[in-house]
């Protein structure tokens, strides 16, 4: 049965080919100083930077730039962004990029005026925000994380070999987000594909929890079917607007907190994947794909009926004459075939993981209790070994 919950999402979205017009409207609500945050410079090559800057200047804004946000934003970069935000006395942080840039912008927004070390306060102790928050807006150029409509922010500390996410309340959500599917067309295929699985993983982390036939499960099954269909088209033609727009919309709904309502949620794949990222700096979506099949095979017996439902309702497995376990395992086989078809990484060896890292990765994985099985460290190591290709 559905438990008690409250739901609020204050982010305003502008979606479609003309979505950037929404930026002009939103800028009227903020002061003069804007911190423009972006990554390695691809937005200058594809023309998005020029379009955004033109709108900022037309609105009379003073622009302070914070470039070079990496795919896995580091704590050192966070400290740099905080300094830039304070020096510019900025009224708005405008993130132009993918989920990492949006994550980073939210981290800066809550950390710039934090009197304590934000890494320790927010990412180690998971404390609430009790200081001034700088508003954030997003112009999305890559889909996958859902960061454009949630309070999540993931930061990496290479020295401590920790990659940790903090889910802030809706007061930290972006105030607005610009979603133009065309802005995602020039993304390299590896990054595009990794984003597709990040979307899928977000849905599965919430789907594989609880035994109830609740509304959230039906929504998630529809999102998964849409993603599978459109991703196959996008792999063949990355500029197919219909496919890319559906994927962009699915990514937002996958992690804007709606489908989690009434669910306990799992998140162990993300905890293991993030720990892998802390050791290897590998692409986030690929760290998830590399451990997902071993993980779900491991927990399948503990959530058999949901895995059976997943096989039938998402992967169209015919149940006639098969046991529940046979149906459930066939669903995972079809999922694995799909993952290989679109070119996902299926082994953590490909990501640079060595045997010597396994214990450290396991110890760096937060143990969650919202799924069908609370893992031990030995079980995490076993899952990692299976992804390495080692027989158990």
- Whether 391 has a pLDDT exceeding 50, the answer reads no
**Domain limit, last residue, from 124, 154, 184:** 184
User: How would DSSP label each residue in 50-90?
Assistant: HHHHHHHHHTTPEEEEE----SS-BHHHHHHHHHHHHHTT-
pLDDT of res. 140:
98
Question: Do 214 and 170 share a structural domain?
Answer: no
Q: Structure pTM?
A: 0.96
Domain presence at residue 7:
no
Question: Can you tell me the mean pLDDT for 369-391?
Answer: 93
Question: Can you tell me the mean pLDDT for 366-386?
Answer: 97
Question: Do 325 and 265 share a structural domain?
Answer: yes
Residues near 361 by beta carbon (within 8 Å), at least 6 away in sequence: 272, 275, 276, 279, 353, 380, 384
**Which CATH number characterizes residue 240's domain?**
1.20.1090.10
Question: Do 162 and 237 share a structural domain?
Answer: no
pLDDT of res. 390:
64
Question: Do 198 and 176 share a structural domain?
Answer: no
Range of the domain at 382: 189-388
Cβ burial 106-120 (10 Å sphere, 16+ → b, else e): bbbbbbbebeeebbe
Question: Can you tell me the mean pLDDT for 49-64?
Answer: 98
Question: Do 180 and 57 share a structural domain?
Answer: yes
**Domain limit, last residue, from 184, 219, 236:** 184
Question: Do 205 and 125 share a structural domain?
Answer: no
Question: Can you tell me the mean pLDDT for 175-181?
Answer: 98
Question: Do 200 and 178 share a structural domain?
Answer: no
**Which CATH number characterizes residue 72's domain?**
3.40.50.1970
pLDDT of res. 5:
87
- Whether 157 has a pLDDT exceeding 50, the answer reads yes
Structure tokens at 74: 């580091």
pLDDT of res. 4:
83
At 66, the pLDDT band (50, 70, 90 cuts) reads very high
pLDDT tens profile 268-291: 999 999 999 999 999 999 999 999
Question: Do 362 and 236 share a structural domain?
Answer: yes
pLDDT of res. 64:
98
Structure tokens at 298: 């491991």
Question: Do 320 and 222 share a structural domain?
Answer: yes
Distance CA 182, CA 271 (A): 32
Domain presence at residue 194:
yes
Question: Can you tell me the mean pLDDT for 80-91?
Answer: 98
Residue of 78, 79, 93 lying closest to 133 (CA atoms) = 93
Domain presence at residue 84:
yes
Question: Do 193 and 166 share a structural domain?
Answer: no
**Domain limit, last residue, from 136, 165, 184:** 184
pLDDT tens profile 30-42: 999 999 999 998 9
Torsion on CA atoms 82, 102, 151, 289, rounded to nearest 10: -130
Question: Do 198 and 281 share a structural domain?
Answer: yes
Q: Please give the tally of structural domains in the chain.
A: 2
Question: Can you tell me the mean pLDDT for 6-14?
Answer: 95
- Whether 14 has a pLDDT exceeding 80, the answer reads yes
At 384, the pLDDT band (50, 70, 90 cuts) reads very high
**Average per-residue pLDDT for the chain:** 96
pLDDT tens profile 320-344: 999 999 999 999 999 999 999 999 9
Backbone angles phi, psi at 72, to 5 degrees: -120, 90
What percentage of the chain has pLDDT greater than the value 70? 99
- Whether 392 has a pLDDT exceeding 50, the answer reads no
Burial of 221 (0-12, 13-18, 19+ CB in 10 A): middle
Question: Do 176 and 194 share a structural domain?
Answer: no
pLDDT tens profile 208-250: 998 777 899 999 999 999 999 999 999 999 999 999 999 999 9
What percentage of the chain has pLDDT greater than the value 90? 95
């Amino acid at each position: 049965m559905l438990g008690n919950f409250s739901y609020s999402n204050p982010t305003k979205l502008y979606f479609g080919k003309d979505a950037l017009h929404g930026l002009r409207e939103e800028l009227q609500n903020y002061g003069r100083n804007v911190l423009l945050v972006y990554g390695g410079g691809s937005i200058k090559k594809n023309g998005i930077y020029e379009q955004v800057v033109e709108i900022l200047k037309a609105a009379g804004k003073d622009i302070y730039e914070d470039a070079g946000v990496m795919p896995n934003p580091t704590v050192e970069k966070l400290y740099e962004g905080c300094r830039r935000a304070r020096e510019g006395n900025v009224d708005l942080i405008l993130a132009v990029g993918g989920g990492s840039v949006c994550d980073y912008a939210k981290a800066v927004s809550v950390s710039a005026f934090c009197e304590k070390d934000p890494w320790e306060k927010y990412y180690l102790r998971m404390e609430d925000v009790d200081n001034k928050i700088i508003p954030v807006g997003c112009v999305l150029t890559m889909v996958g994380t859902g960061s454009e409509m949630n309070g999540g922010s993931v930061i990496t500390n290479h020295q401590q070999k920790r990659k940790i996410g903090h889910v802030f309340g809706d007061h930290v959500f972006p105030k607005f987000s610009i979603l133009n599917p065309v802005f995602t067309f020039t993304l390299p295929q590896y990054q595009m594909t990794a984003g597709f699985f990040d979307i899928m993983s977000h849905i599965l982390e919430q789907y594989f929890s609880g035994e109830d036939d609740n509304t959230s499960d039906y929504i998630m099954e529809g999102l998964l079917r849409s993603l599978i269909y459109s991703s196959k088209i996008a792999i063949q033609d990355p500029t197919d607007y219909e496919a890319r727009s559906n994927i962009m919309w699915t990514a937002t709904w996958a992690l804007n907190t709606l489908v989690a309502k009434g669910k306990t949620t799992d998140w162990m794949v993300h905890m293991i994947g993030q720990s892998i990222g802390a050791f290897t700096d590998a692409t986030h979506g690929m760290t998830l794909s590399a451990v997902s099949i071993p993980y779900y095979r491991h927990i399948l017996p503990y959530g058999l009926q949901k895995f059976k439902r997943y096989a039938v309702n998402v992967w169209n497995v015919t149940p006639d004459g098969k046991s529940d376990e046979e149906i459930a395992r066939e669903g995972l086989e079809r999922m694995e075939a799909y993952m290989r078809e679109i070119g996902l990484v299926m082994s953590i060896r490909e990501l640079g993981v060595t045997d010597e890292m396994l214990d450290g990765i396991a110890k760096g994985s937060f143990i969650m209790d919202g799924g069908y099985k609370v893992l031990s460290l030995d079980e995490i190591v076993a899952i990692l070994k299976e992804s390495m290709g080692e027989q158990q």
